[in-house]
Amino acid sequence: MYVGKVFFASKMKAILARKIGMTNYFGDNGEIVPVTLVEAGPCTIHQIKTKEKDGYESVQIGFGEKKKLGKALAGHLGKTQSRNLKEVKMDTSDVKFGGTITCEVFAEGEKVHVTGLSKGKGFAGTIKRHGFHRGPMTHGSRNQRKPGSIGAMYPQHVSKGRKMPGQMGHAQVSVKNLKIEKIDAEKNIIAVKGAIPGPRKSVVLIKSVN
């Protein structure tokens, strides 16, 4: 079994990371650059799927450690008991089972896509959730923050996709074409320009731009 760093020869690269928080630094021209710091890897390769056996190519990577696992999951993961698992479609020709993916697979200045679970904001009305306008506050109006009409006389049902009150946030969100500003290989930290989805300590997936 191969254990060591894996450098992807294909264009597709991916790594799981834990969000630390936002900060900023001064660039070379004195400009203040807002960045989000993430702890990227190291991630262990737990499974490799091929076209011959599974019909498509993908790699299952794991990040973090979990103390207690069920027998089935513990047998699948082996000695490295990863807390977070993610399957990513990529070329498997240069990937080895049991290998380790570090933040060094990316380079400073590279563009990436970041996918994570956004912050949950609970049950919200149409004004907060969809940006609806409120009704008049005077002249006897009782329709300040109500959603208003949700349909017509025909057809006698609410049309599909109607914007209404409901759960806001806590959904998968992808932010594309973010720039990697700095990489600290010793501490496994990547500084991504701008904001990424999710609260602090949440796990996000960083992928290269195809």
Burial (CB < 10 A; 0-12, 13-18, 19+), residue 202, is: middle
Same domain, 200 and 187: yes
Counting every residue written for the chain, the total comes to 210
In a domain, 50, yes or no: yes
How confident is the model at residue 2, as a pLDDT?
33
How confident is the model at residue 7, as a pLDDT?
42
In a domain, 46, yes or no: yes
CATH code of the domain in which 23 resides: 2.40.30.10
How confident is the model at residue 177, as a pLDDT?
93
3-state secondary structure (DSSP) of residue 105: helix
Task: Please give the structure tokens belonging to residue 66.
Answer: 């979990």
Same domain, 116 and 34: yes
Same domain, 89 and 137: no
pTM here is: 0.79
Residue 35 domain boundaries: 14-120+173-208
Same domain, 29 and 80: yes
CB neighbours of residue 38 within 10 Å: 26
Q: How far is CA 156 from CA 124, 149, 150, 151, in A?
A: 26, 13, 11, 8
Same domain, 199 and 105: yes
Same domain, 29 and 73: yes
3-state secondary structure (DSSP) of residue 174: strand
Same domain, 91 and 68: yes
CB 129 within 8 A of CB 166: yes
How confident is the model at residue 9, as a pLDDT?
39
How confident is the model at residue 140, as a pLDDT?
92
How confident is the model at residue 11, as a pLDDT?
60
Q: How far is CA 191 from the centre of its chain?
A: 15
Same domain, 96 and 72: yes
Domain tally, the chain: 2
Residues of the chain with pLDDT under 50: 1-10
